[in-house]
Structures are given as C-alpha cells and as structure tokens.
Chains A and B, each alone.
Chain A
C-alpha cells in the first residue's frame, strides 16, 4: 500500500494504510517529552556494555507495573517474570518459543479471526500450531460474541489463546467489560492459557488503566497468563524496538525458573536486547513529571482519533450515505474496519487516491479535519455507484 501511495502524484492522495500515528499537521508523532528525554540519553551511549540477557531491570519492573497495575498482588508476590524484548513482535516470539519448548499441554494457539497479519507468522515459526476463533461479525461490524464463546469452548483443554488487550487490530472491536468477564470465566473453566498482546495501552481509551483492565481481570483471579507489551505506538518509539514480555506464574519460585528458561530462548536469538529505547522508556516511566506529560499526550492522541471517528460518522450521515455507519464510532483504537469490500477499496484508490488495505481497514490516525470530507466523498461514491 505504501509503495503505491508513494508513487501517486495526486495532491489529494491519502494514506490510511499504515498503522502509525499521525498528528494533524506533522506526519509523524513524537511524544514531546521524548525529545528532551532522547537528548538527555546521549549519556547512555557513553557506556556501551551489554545489557543482561533479560534487559534493563528498571525497565522490566516499570513495564510490569504499567500493564498489571502498580498495586498488582502478582507483582507483590514476586510471581511475575518480565523480560525486555524487541517491541511487540519480539515479545510474542520469545513467549511463543518458550511455550513451544516448555509447555507440555497443547502446543496450539488460538488467534482471533481476523488478527494482525504477523501473528500467525510469528507463532508458526516459533513452533506452535495455529488455529482461529471467531471474532468479527461482518453483519454487525461488531463482536461475534456467540461465535467466540463457542469456538473457545470447543478448544482442547490446555490450548493457548491469544487475546488483544484493547483496540483490536484490525477491527477496532473490543469486548465490553461484562463480555471480558464471561471470556475469563470460560477460559479458566476450560483450562486454556491466555496470552495477551498489548500494543495500544493508553492509546485506545486515553487511559492507561482502562486499557489494561482486561489483562488485570485475568491476573486478579490468581491464574497464570502471558502478556506482550509494545511501546512502538504509545511512546512513538517504532524504530527503537522496545517491548516487554511478562509471564504471570502461580508462585515466586516458578517465576524464577521460568525466567531462567526465557534466557535460554533469548540468548541464541540475539543474546541481549538493545539498550537505547528501553532506557528512554524507563526514564519516562520513573519520572513523575514526564509520566504525567506522557499520559496527557496519550489522552490527546486518543481524543484526536475519537474526534476523527466522530467527524467521519457525521460526514457520512450528512451525505446520506446508505448503510449503518455507527461502527465507526463504536470501534476503538487506531483502526476502523469500514466494511467496504476489496472492489470498493480499489475504486476509492483509483478514483479518489485513497490508500488502505484491501480488507477495508483504515487507520483513523491518518485522517485530519481537512481530509475527512474527501474520505467521506470517496466512501459515499464507492457505496452508491453500483447499486
């Protein structure tokens, strides 16, 4: 998509393909606090020794607190092992390889349909077999809750289940808290192992705590789970590959053994993780002023996306575009699954220079107040032309 977009010479071209945050005016987001932080981190480069295999200890502790909550009993009981990894991808891969090696139950992971394109690749190459569970209902453009419960209910005992902590990618469809509770009960009663992918904490609702509720719910019941965290989007650190994998175990001694085995997965993969990005994140998380600044900017990012959703919905309503477009404001996070088909998408690209993935997914972050009307026109034309 990006290649085609770059080649297009139209002044009206719009790239809604890539999942990176864009501000109203600048085309790339850098959390403002990051800039001063990055600058003060030149000193890190002055000491160029290896990190340990599990990475920066401070970063790991702070990341665990961020996702599980500062007062998490699991953390207080020392039942959590956290290792620094290369963004979400690296965290998922390390977790998956660990499970493929040490998990004696089903080496099968159930992923939602649809999910991030890289998920099946990561798990397959790590040695897990991959199955799917129903997730998105094209008819409602919402959650196929019944299908989800049925499919997870039918999964063999011990299977691993991948859950998007919030802001499901690509659909933007999240379970409600009540639905999450039902999912939790089902997973625990069926003895399934939850593996969370948290790539948008803070970004989805604007609240770091609210966006971690699903994970915390599972940890609160005392059970075990895995959680992969990425700082690519919520700290704008795409390039620096900063992430963490936390494994919540039943007891402290188990967590310690698990950590020793994680090291054996990591060392033959890349020996130890990169220092730069993690140092920046740790500095921000532990400084209350910078942390505050960050939460404020996160809320602003989330609010801007919410406002884009609202504007697009209103623009389509104003044009009388046929169909129910309420899913635009019901879905959450960076992406909207518009429900447009590949033919309509191709039409929008050709005639209106709108670039998006052929599954009809658009990145709301790629929109601005200025470009919303153009997109609305394109959608309207695509939907009304053949009917």
Chain B
C-alpha cells in the first residue's frame, strides 16, 4: 500500500517542509480600521437602545438601510439584458462618464459640450481618488497632495499608498466649530506654486463645515494666482442641501474661473450603491486631443490595478443617470434623504437645548451633510460608547443618518451627560 501511494502522489513523500522558509513570520498585525472596530463593538453590544452613528451610510426612519426606488426600477430595466456581452460595458461606460460629468459640472457648460474631459468609471470614490493619486505620482513625481485637516481618514492612506507625500492645510477651527478660513488662506498662499489640493465640494467629511460661496470664490482666485491644481472629492452631491446643482456650486465657481479641475465622484451614499463600487474620475483638459491622451493614461493605470470596474454597477448607474424618468426619481429621493437628515439635525439641536445644557448647539444645524462633528474629547467619545452605548468614530464624528425620531431624545440626553461638566 505504501508503494501504491508512492506512485500515485510521489510529491507527498518528498516533503521538504523541514527546510522550507517561513516568509511571513515577520508580518505584524495591522491596526484595525477604526470604522470596522466601531462596527464590531456595536454589533457585540447587547444593549437594546444602542445607536450606531459610525458608518456614513443612510438609514431611514426605522434605522434601516434604504434601497432607492430608482435603483430598484433600474435593476428591473436591466434584468434579462446580457450584461456579459462585449457591447454592454463600453457603451454603458461612455454613458456613465458623460452623465456623471454633466451632473457635476453642469449640462451645458463648454467643457462638457466640447468634450474637453478625460473621464473613466472608477471603483467608487476610493477608487477614483486612488486612480488620480497614481496618475499624479506618474506625471507629477515631485508633487505632494494637500489634504484638509481633518479629512476622511482614508484620504491619507490612499495618497500614501500611491507614494505621494501628504501635507495638510488648516480647515477646522476647534473653538469656533467652524471654518478656520484665515489659516486656510494662509496655507494656500504659502504652498509652493502649482501644488495639488484636495477639496470637499460640499458636506465636508468629517466636520460638515463648508466654505460659503464668497469664501469659495476667494479660494478659487487664490488658486488661480498660485496655479494650484484643485482636486474635488464629491461624495455627497444631492445629500448636502437636497439640490444636486447647489451642492456642486463650489466646483462650478472654479469652473467659471477657468480652472482645469479633477473630480472623483461617488454614488455609494447618494444612491445607496455601496456594494457595486461605482463612481467616476474626471480630469478637465485644455482640448479634446489632450483629453483623449489623458484618458488613455488613466485606463492604462487602471489596467494594472483592477482592469475595469464591474459591469453590473456601471450599467446600473448609467441606466439611472441616462434615463430622464429614473434620474428625476433619484433627485426626489436624494432630496428626501437630505431633508430627513436636516430635520434630525433640527430635532437634535432642539432636544439638546431642552436639556438645559449651557453649551452652544447652533453648529448642529449649521453643519451640512451626513456628519455631526461636535468636537468631543476622546474621553467623551469613550463614555458615550461605554456608558450610553452610542457608537461613533474615534474622532467624535457622528452620522446623522443614524439618528431617528425614536432615538434622538436618548442621543441628546447622552451627549448632554458627557458634555455637561465641561
């Protein structure tokens, strides 16, 4: 029997495992993703009134994730289509890019009409940013990226992994709980000419603090003088004010001022397309020829990372944006989501003021978008989790989308409890 085994699987008997190298012993455990840690802590908490305000994902009045009507209808529409043939993807990709570009820059602006944009579907916002970061490293190897302080934590990782040095510029003023505009302008002035800046066009994550239109104009003018490159990460178009055009006004100010803009667009939160990883990266160019060349480079870089984004998400998004009726439904739905969040802000502020708190809670309704950034200390964040079973990211950012009429009073009381001794 031993001989038979020898013949059948000879290699098993010649195991060299005794002398085989162990390559990965030195690999240390990575720090847990803070958001994942929050989610895990929340999931394992048995407290019935627990609240998860960590993930920036929309929830309805019952605290459930929402599948939008426009998405359901689009799925029905594409059902039965052969998505795996060789024609669907390129056509849908072209539609996706065209519609995304129109959505963010405006339908009838010259740069869109003259096709002076290099656009490719991307793996949602993260993928679009990473693709740009790789492009930046490739063609501007000496450049760094200026990120607002604070910003979405993954921005730092994205540019770092693309080997682009990261710098920060002032943004949030902790005492004002508002924009530190003077310091921001100073930093923009002091950066070397031709620097690359990442800007949140609306609903800044995590602070919810956006410049006013006048402030955006001033920033745009300064950028012109300094020849800086403005890269916008648009993740909340429609969710900030409920109006997609209003939410893009900062970008359109820059566009009117003649900047050649870069823009990452994500639809995960505004359309609930989380699992499909569908978004867009666009770079505005001097002319159509340049746009063709730049696009070819973006495709080349993407080709060495993942090839192309998944076709299902591409067809879904292009169907929704490319169909007037579906797009109108989406506009209504995103407005409804924004309205609910705004009403939760108002209720939360009202509830906090009713607690008799001596603190100023005005910023709750002044901040825009999904997140509330109250400027809590780490101890307060910890207490909220341990004593009150309210979970958020370690920087004290809370997702208003997780607030409902049934938990807003509890939340207000909890926040009052941990802040009242200040």
Contact = CB atoms under 8 A, between A and B. Distances in A.
B275 A93 contact: no
B307 A268 contact: no
Given A42-B75, A217-B11, A277-B312, A185 B16 contact: yes
A13 interface: no
A89 B305 contact: yes
Given A269-B305, A276-B276, A223 B16 contact: yes
Nearest to B20: A223
B126 A267 contact: yes
Contacts of B15: 220-222
Interface residue tally on A, bucketed by range: 35 or more
A339 interface: no
Contacts of B275: 44-45, 47-51, 274-276
Contacts of A188: 16, 19-20
Interface stretch (B84-92, B192-200, B290-298, B398-406): B84-92
A220 B313 contact: no
Interface of B: 9-12, 14-17, 19-30, 32-33, 36, 57, 65, 67, 71-72, 75, 79-80, 82-86, 88-89, 123-124, 126-127, 130, 134, 154, 157-158, 160-163, 268, 272-277, 300-301, 303-313, 316
B301 A125 contact: yes
A116 to B, nearest CB: 12
Contacts of A171: none
A261 B25 CA distance: 13
A86 B127 CA distance: 12
Interface string A258-291: 1011011101111111111100000000000000
B23 A105 contact: yes
A325 B123 CA distance: 45
28 contacts: A47-B65, A47-B67, A48-B71, A50-B268, A53-B36, A86-B123, A125-B304, A184-B11, A222-B20, A240-B84, A257-B27, A257-B30, A258-B27, A260-B29, A260-B32, A261-B28, A261-B29, A264-B30, A265-B161, A268-B126, A268-B130, A268-B162, A270-B306, A274-B275, A274-B310, A274-B313, A275-B276, A277-B312
Given A125-B134, A272-B277, A20 B161 contact: no
A224 B20 contact: yes
A239 B89 contact: yes
B84 A238 contact: yes
Contact of A257 (B19, B29, B126): B29
Contacts of B157: 264, 267-268
B17 A241 contact: no
A32 interface: no
Contact of A274 (B33, B161, B276): B276
B161 A268 contact: yes
A241 B310 contact: yes
Interface stretch (A138-146, A246-254, A308-316): A246-254
A177 B313 CA distance: 41
